[in-house]
Each structure stands twice: as C-alpha cells, then as structure tokens.
Amino acid sequence: MFTPPAVGMPLFFLATPFFRPLLFASPAFRTTTTALYRSLRSFASTIRMVSHLDNVDIDPKGTFKYILIKVTDNDTKDSKFIVRGYKRCGYHADILDEVMRTEQKPGLDLEFDCVGGGRIRHEPEKQELFVYGYSQGYGQADHQRSVDIIKTKYPGYNVTFSNEGY
C-alpha cells in the first residue's frame, strides 16, 4: 500500500521513476499530477533562462568594442545586465546581433536592449581591464555598472574605467 510522503517533502520526488506508476494509476490523479509536473518543469526552465546567461563574455586579450545589455524575460519580467565584447565585431551593433542570435532560444521571449557601449582594453598578463569610450550608435554605457559586472568574472584583476576617450 502507498504511504503519502511526509509533510514538507519536496515535490520533485513525484517525477522519479519509482513514483510514476503509483501516481499515474488513477486518471484523475494522473491529470492533476501531469499538469503540476509540466507547470513546475516549465517554471523551472523559465527561471533558468535569464539567470543562465553568463554575466560577462569578452575576448581573452586585446582592445575591442563592448556593449552593456539589459536582458528581460517578457514572460516573467525577470531581467539582468550582461557585458559582451569581441574583437571580431567591427560595430557595437554586430555584438548585439551576435548575442541575440546565440542566446535567444525557441519558445522563449527574451528581449535584448543595448543600453550603451564603449571599449575594453584587456591585458591578461598584467591582470588589468580598462573600460572607456562610447558607442556612436548606442551612446556611452554606464561604465561603473559594467566594471562591477566584469569584476564578478575577474575578481583578481585591476578593473578600472574612464568616461573619456573614444
């Protein structure tokens, strides 16, 4: 005979192979459980979508353009800021295009809003990152915010910025 789980036991146990035959024995219980399971799975995948994005993805060395992007999940309204910068992109808009192409997944409603740009000088041998300048198309990013985000990936680096220069 089936004994109900203890109060407070997490619901993920319902999805284990052991419990599936017990749960799906009754059509009414099966419908409810299946709906609950799908809802939880959908909710979990939605939560992962914005949070799964790396805070920083920049080239390992050199001087290159970068952008600060606000990513919003239009279904949940969750959002976060991310920094992206690549030598291979000649324009700030090229970086945004690449991020949208690689990070947008089918079935998701993510919005990518470039809030500004600039340049990054990355010198790994000195463990230094310098953020400066602006984007002619998107304007100047909030370099302080960009530096704070970059420091999460490069905690041992000297990360500085200037609002001067191009």
Domain extents for the chain? 52-162
Do the Cβ atoms of 118 and 134 come closer than 8 Å?
Answer: yes
Contacts for 57 with CB less than 8 Å, ≥ 6 apart: 82, 83, 84, 85
- Which of residues 16 and 66 earns the better pLDDT score? 66
What are the tens digits of pLDDT across the range 32-83?
656 655 655 555 454 456 888 999 999 999 999 999 999 999 999 999 999 9
* pLDDT at 28 exceeding the cut of 80: no
* pLDDT at 144 exceeding the cut of 70: yes
SS3 content of the chain, % helix, strand, coil (to 5): 35, 30, 35
* pLDDT at 10 exceeding the cut of 70: no
In the structure encoding, which two tokens stand for residue 61, read together? Answer: 């060395």
- Which of residues 96 and 24 earns the better pLDDT score? 96
pTM of this prediction?
A: 0.72
- Report the pLDDT value the prediction gives residue 46, as an integer from 0 to 100: 45
Q: What percent of the chain has pLDDT over 70?
A: 70
Band (pLDDT 50/70/90 cuts) for residue 120 is: very high
**Annotated binding residues, as ranges?**
65
Question: What SS3 state is found at 89?
Answer: coil
* pLDDT at 163 exceeding the cut of 60: yes
- Report the pLDDT value the prediction gives residue 65, as an integer from 0 to 100: 98
So which residues are the catalytic ones?
92
- Report the pLDDT value the prediction gives residue 106, as an integer from 0 to 100: 84
**Annotated binding residues for substrate, as ranges?**
65
Output the CATH code of domain 52-162: 3.50.20.20
